[in-house]
Amino acid sequence: MNCFYHPDRPAVGSCKHCQRGLCTECTALVEDVLACKDRHEGQARAELQLTARSLFQSQRMGAAYLRNAIFYGLVGVLFAGFGWMQLRFLGLQAVFFILIGAFLLYAAIANYLESRKHK
């Protein structure tokens, strides 16, 4: 591949924004990626920030889902455990507690699975 702006010179890399080949003279270093000097430095920087931000947001969403999973899991175990222990004394009412517990555990698993998508 040769430089897009100097077809007689070999390219040392390609622009992050437009993917064109760049020789040493046309290369601008933005953070740690290459961009067309005086042309796409701004665009490359903006694209880098966008990627970094969406990555950060995804990680935060994952953490939030994980927190929900832990919360639902704990409350679900409490409800189910309480219902299980009281089953002999409360009968149908205890079954109701166990059902709530099971539903919360299901929500915990769903949240946990969702959190793993945001790594």
Query: By the criterion CB under 5 A, which residues form the site for Zn ion?
Result: 3, 5-6, 15, 17-18, 23, 25-26, 36, 40
Residue 25 vs 31, nearer CB to Zn ion: 25
Structure tokens at 117: 């998508």
- CB-nearest residue to Zn ion: 15
Residue 38 vs 88, nearer CB to Zn ion: 38
CB of 15 to Zn ion, least distance (A): 3
CB of 46 to Zn ion, least distance (A): 13
- CA 104 – CA 69 distance, rounded (Å): 9
- CA 101 – CA 63 distance, rounded (Å): 23
- CA 34 – CA 46 distance, rounded (Å): 13
CB of 8 to Zn ion, least distance (A): 9
CB of 13 to Zn ion, least distance (A): 11
Residue 6 vs 118, nearer CB to Zn ion: 6
CB 2 within 8 A of CB 25: no
Residue 27 vs 68, nearer CB to Zn ion: 27
What one-character-per-residue DSSP string does 72-100 give? HHHHHHHHHHHHHHHHHHHTHHHHHHHHH
